[in-house]
Structure 1
Amino acid sequence: MKNTVTMPFVIQTADTFYKRFKGLMFRNEPIREEGLWIVPCNSVHMFFMSFPIDIVLLNEQKEVIRLIHSLKPWRATKPDKNAFSVLELPVGTIGDLCIRIGDTLEF
């Protein structure tokens, strides 16, 4: 069943080359009650990260097309040709909000 899921916390936008490249790198503390929307983007890397995060790949309508639970530091995802953007969230958010493929996200 497809749902609309509203993010219950602030989502920052990374929409310039520098902001997309930097993302959440070099932060010491895990993110809590915040997220980062990287647009355009179809894959992520976790180089220079010190904590895992949940990854949600979205199409242009902000529909979920792929979910990655707890991506660990020093890992990377394969590019997804159908992804328009990526939402980086605190670890556990996908499960806590019951986000599913096909859902539409609001933030």
Structure 2
Amino acid sequence: MRVFKDAYIEQIPIKIHMYHTFSKRLRGLMFRKKPLNAEGILLTPCNSIHMFFMYIAIDAVFLDNNDQIVYQKENVKPWTVILPKKNAVSVLELPVGTISTYSLRIGNKLEY
């Protein structure tokens, strides 16, 4: 995954799994017991998430049609709900700490 910030590109060593079907999006990371490690999932279409039946926390990054960050939340705990976000069309569920480690900010454009 690459992050475009102003005039440079930063590589992020995370493998992104695409979840495009209803059943994959619904299940997401439910019942997973091991924390994410150098991997994440892209839920699309999606503008909200639930953490029901989750055992791990995640960082969540909400993207618009141009793959720009429109909302982000660090360390989202199990049994949390993030309501629909305006202009979001997909959500990246990433390992805890990804947002702060790579200084992701609203407006950054991602390429995965």
Q: TM-score, normalised by structure 1?
A: 0.94
Q: 2:54 aligns with which of 44, 49, 55?
A: 49
Report which of the two has the higher share of strand. Answer: 2
Taking only the aligned residue pairs, the percentage that are identical comes to 46
**RMSD between aligned residues:** 1.2
Q: 1:56 touches 1:67 (CA, 8 Å); kept in 2? A: yes
Corresponding residue SS for 1:21: helix
Residue 86 (structure 2) pairs with residue 81 (structure 1): yes
| Cα distance between partner residues in 1 of 2:67 and 2:19 | 15
Q: Gaps spanning 5+ residues in structure 1: where?
A: none
Q: How many residues align?
A: 106
Superposed CA deviations along residues 46-90 of structure 1, whole A, max 9, x for unmatched, are: 000001100000001100000101000000001113101000000
Q: 1:33 aligns with which of 7, 13, 38?
A: 38
| Cα distance between partner residues in 2 of 1:5 and 1:45 | 29
* Per-residue deviation, 1:5: 4.7
Q: TM-score, normalised by structure 2?
A: 0.90
Q: 1:5 touches 1:103 (CA, 8 Å); kept in 2? A: no
| Dislocated runs of 4+, deviation >6 Å | none
Higher relative contact order (CA 8 A, sep 6+): 1
